[in-house]
């Protein structure tokens, strides 16, 4: 998918003179991808940055949305686009920041639990640092933006086993399964053809 998306994203970065451009997709509430948000500090400083999916609900409840990570009634999607870790950095500011920081980034732990009781890990927990936190290290003058592209064209990972895919489907979430990944290959081709002016019949929805 990135081969379809990145040339357009490069053009957007160039046209808007962005120091950072995050490629994003429309995000469902509760979906396991980070959300791009405009964060306002207590002193009034603002920054556009990724918030990890396991922090979104708590952050919203503590600030602007008591219900947490919920859908926008107008769209049925999260108001915050999902960051898919396709990142474009302007090389000049990036090189300057690497020289300043030595390449170090803040570290954190992201535990993945087996169930809602949070008493058992689903997989080993590790110390991580994230490339999508790079914008947080930039000065306030940095131009940080994002480009939203459809899920089928930009983001359709195949990483979920069958049992977990069924559970995600029952909750109305993207499944990230082998079946959805294959379907999106065809759907992405249809999107490109439609954008080129080709008239296609509407898709047929079937549950088997």
**DSSP labels, 87-102:** EEE-HHHHHHHHHHHT
Look at strands 35-40 and 20-25 and give their pairing: unpaired
Mean pLDDT of 63-89: 94
Band (pLDDT 50/70/90 cuts) for residue 202 is: confident
Q: In this structure, are residues 33 and 168 in contact, taking their beta carbons and an 8 Å threshold?
A: no
As a whole number of angstroms, the distance between CA 156 and CA 151 comes to: 6
Whether the per-residue pLDDT at 67 is higher than 90: the answer is: yes
pTM for this entry: 0.81
As a whole number of angstroms, the distance between CA 175 and CA 179 comes to: 9
> Any idea which of 10-14, 25-29, 128-132, 162-166 has the lowest mean pLDDT?
128-132
Whether the per-residue pLDDT at 163 is higher than 80: the answer is: yes
Residue partners of 8: CB distance under 8 A and separation at least 6: 147, 149
């Amino acid at each position: 998918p990135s081969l379809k998306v990145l040339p357009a994203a490069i053009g957007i970065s160039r046209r808007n003179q962005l120091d950072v451009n995050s490629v994003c997709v429309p995000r469902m509430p509760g979906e396991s991808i980070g959300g791009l948000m405009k964060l306002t500090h207590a002193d009034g400083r603002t920054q556009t940055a990724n918030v990890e999916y396991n922090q979104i609900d708590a952050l919203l409840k503590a600030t602007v949305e008591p219900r947490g990570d919920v859908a926008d009634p107008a769209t049925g999607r999260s108001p915050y686009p999902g960051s898919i870790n396709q990142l474009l950095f302007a090389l000049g500011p990036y090189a300057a920041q690497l020289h300043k920081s030595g390449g170090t980034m803040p570290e954190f732990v992201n535990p993945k639990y087996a169930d809602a009781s949070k008493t058992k890990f689903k997989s080993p927990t590790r110390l991580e640092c994230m490339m999508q936190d790079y914008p947080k290290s930039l000065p306030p003058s940095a131009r940080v933006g994002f480009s939203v592209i459809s899920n089928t064209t930009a983001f359709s990972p195949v990483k979920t086993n069958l049992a977990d895919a069924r559970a995600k489907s029952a909750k109305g979430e993207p499944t990230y399964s082998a079946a959805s990944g294959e379907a999106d290959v065809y759907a992405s081709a249809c999107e490109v053809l439609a954008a080129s002016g080709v008239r296609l019949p509407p898709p047929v929805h079937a549950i088997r």
